[in-house]
């Protein structure tokens, strides 16, 4: 069966949840491998909505093993609340169906405090989620991090010693030392007992599942544009969000990966700062935001919006070895009479007005201006690429226009390959609305 990955191709919020929920429904093992409580997605089962931050979407299915892998940074309190609130709603969660890697690092309250301190100190703040993600990952890289294995196996005095060592260099930034270690001792005693049933060497479980040809899904968090190496650094998150990165973070080697499903929208959105060549700070961007409901799920912050950037998308497809693409908001973009697609950039490397036309994503993306292809849109009201007998001529024409749009994109992502059988990247599905069932599979 192999391992399927579901990843974001743009700057997050592409609607990965919709497809990963479908894939997870039949999976034996579902893995969350990167990021922390900065992510968020909603799962709907039997009409009930569940908002998740750290748990994989499979948690509502007790027959599936849900894994929080080594690459995740775990906020003990947020995860505790997430588990308990699901249990209160009747979701079965035990050490049988939830496994947390003993290698996953822990996010502590001072990580969140310092996340804010660093943002305040920056001339150009990143607009982080303030969930302590970057600080926790930097502790990991500095080798002063504390892992889930420490939480469940150490005595509380040892954890306090580890914390003291980790806090030592941070004192200058955090001001007075008012850390109440007695309070932490009590908390860690509680967490040690609470997390004991979940924490284990998940890598062994995952490797067993691979050997036994189980159906495994890795749910990516954040997206390629936010990847620490290949995103728009420094306006990125602090983990690797690519297909290879999340596989490595799950303890899975590259030859065990089967399908890589990349999720994108028919336009672009991003929260936080950073370059965005196709951004539309005008009535077009406003229209996309309103029709696509582009407001942050937790904060309500309006998202930045703009046209679909195919140069970026092809870069993301190649970086991630994507073989299947899902486009959400196929309906939203159809509300525009004409649609722009960025197909190359004018790149002014030295800032001397000498622009070069390129069709790849350079490190200095902020120096790129998009060159657009303008295509016909206007397919409002249609919900599928299929033409049926009962359609009016007008509806049939709408479907034809939508088909032409997606056919062009698929060809572009395959470097202009016309023969569908030779295309390595195929559009797997289109999202035609917000509902879990508003998805049309094309292959």
Site for ligand IMP, rule CB under 6 A: 12-13, 38-39, 126-129, 131, 133-134, 221-222, 226, 237-238, 271-272
Question: What single DSSP character describes residue 183?
Answer: H
**Nearest to ligand IMP of 306, 377 (CB atom):** 306
Q: Which residues pair with 216 in a beta bridge?
A: 3, 29
Question: What single DSSP character describes residue 284?
Answer: H
- Please indicate whether residue 13 is annotated as part of the active site: yes
Q: Which residues pair with 101 in a beta bridge?
A: 200
Compute CA 43 distance to the chain's CA centroid, rounded to the nearest angstrom: 15
CB of 433 to ligand IMP, least distance (A): 21
CB of 304 to ligand IMP, least distance (A): 10
Question: What single DSSP character describes residue 301?
Answer: P
Residue 432 burial (CB count, 10 A): 22
Whether the CB-CB separation of 52 and 42 falls below 8 Å is answered with yes
- Please indicate whether residue 329 is annotated as part of the active site: no
Torsion angle defined by CA atoms of residues 17, 33, 272 and 302, in that order, rounded to the nearest 10 degrees = 20
**Nearest to ligand IMP of 102, 305 (CB atom):** 305
Angle at 239 between CA 99 and CA 365, to 5 degrees: 150
Q: Which residues pair with 7 in a beta bridge?
A: 262
* Nearest Cα to Cα of residue 170 among 129, 135, 130: 135
CB of 235 to ligand IMP, least distance (A): 6
Phi, psi at residue 276, to the nearest 5°?
-155, 80
Q: Which residues pair with 218 in a beta bridge?
A: 5, 31
CB of 230 to ligand IMP, least distance (A): 14
CB of 19 to ligand IMP, least distance (A): 16
Say which residue the tokens 């034809």 belong to.
400
DSSP strand pairing (48-52 vs 41-45):
antiparallel
- Tokens found for residue 258: 């089967």
**Nearest to ligand IMP of 299, 388 (CB atom):** 299
Position closest to ligand IMP via CB:
272
CB of 319 to ligand IMP, least distance (A): 18
**Nearest to ligand IMP of 12, 334 (CB atom):** 12
Residue 343 burial (CB count, 10 A): 16
Whether the CB-CB separation of 240 and 248 falls below 8 Å is answered with yes
How many whole angstroms separate alpha carbon 168 and alpha carbon 198? 30
Compute CA 309 distance to the chain's CA centroid, rounded to the nearest angstrom: 18
DSSP strand pairing (267-270 vs 426-431):
unpaired
**Nearest to ligand IMP of 192, 329 (CB atom):** 329
Q: Which residues pair with 339 in a beta bridge?
A: 375
How many whole angstroms separate alpha carbon 182 and alpha carbon 84? 25
CB of 422 to ligand IMP, least distance (A): 34
CB of 219 to ligand IMP, least distance (A): 12
Q: Which residues are known to be catalytic?
A: 13, 41
């Amino acid at each position: 069966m192999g391992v399927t990955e579901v990843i974001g191709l743009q700057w997050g919020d592409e609607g990965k949840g919709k497809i990963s929920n479908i894939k997870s429904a039949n999976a034996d093992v579902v893995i969350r491998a990167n990021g922390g409580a900065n992510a968020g997605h909603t799962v709907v089962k039997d009409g009930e909505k569940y908002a998740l931050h750290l748990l994989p979407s499979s948690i509502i299915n007790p027959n599936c093993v849900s894994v929080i892998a080594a690459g995740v940074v775990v906020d003990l309190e947020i995860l505790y609340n997430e588990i308990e609130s699901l249990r209160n709603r009747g979701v079965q969660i035990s050490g049988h169906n939830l496994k947390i890697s003993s290698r996953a690092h822990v996010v502590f309250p001072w990580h969140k405090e310092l996340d804010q301190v660093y943002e305040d100190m920056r001339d150009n703040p990143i607009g982080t989620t303030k969930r302590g993600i970057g600080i926790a990952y930097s502790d990991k890289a500095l080798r002063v991090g504390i892992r889930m294995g420490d939480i469940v196996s150490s005595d509380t005095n040892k954890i306090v010693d580890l914390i003291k060592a980790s806090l030592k260099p941070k004192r200058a930034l955090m001001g007075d030392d008012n850390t109440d270690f007695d309070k932490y001792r009590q908390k860690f005693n509680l967490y040690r007992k609470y997390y004991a049933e979940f924490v284990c060497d998940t890598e062994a479980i995952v490797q067993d599942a691979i050997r036994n040809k189980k159906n495994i899904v890795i749910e990516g968090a954040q997206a390629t544009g936010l990847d620490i190496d290949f995103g728009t650094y420094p306006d990125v998150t602090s983990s690797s969000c690519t297909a290879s990165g999340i596989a490595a973070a799950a303890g899975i080697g590259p030859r065990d990966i089967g399908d890589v499903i990349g999720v994108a929208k028919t336009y672009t959105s991003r929260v936080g700062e950073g370059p965005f060549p196709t951004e539309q700070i005008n009535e077009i961007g406003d229209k996309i935001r309103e029709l696509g409901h582009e407001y942050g799920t937790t904060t309500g912050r309006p998202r930045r919006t703009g046209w679909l950037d195919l140069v970026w998308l092809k870069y993301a497809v190649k970086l991630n070895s994507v073989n299947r693409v899902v486009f959400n908001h196929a309906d939203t973009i159809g509300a525009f009479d004409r649609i722009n697609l960025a197909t190359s950039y004018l790149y002014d490397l030295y800032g001397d007005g000498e622009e070069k036309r390129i069709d790849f994503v350079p490190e200095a993306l902020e120096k790129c201006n998009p060159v657009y292809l303008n295509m016909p849109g206007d397919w409002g009201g249609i919900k599928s690429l299929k033409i049926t007998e009962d359609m009016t001529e007008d509806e049939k024409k709408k479907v034809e226009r939508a088909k032409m749009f997606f056919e062009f994109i698929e060809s572009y992502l395959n470097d202009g390959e016309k023969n569908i059988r030779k295309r390595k990247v195929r559009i797997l599905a289109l999202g035609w609305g917000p509902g879990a069932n508003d998805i049309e599979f094309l292959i």
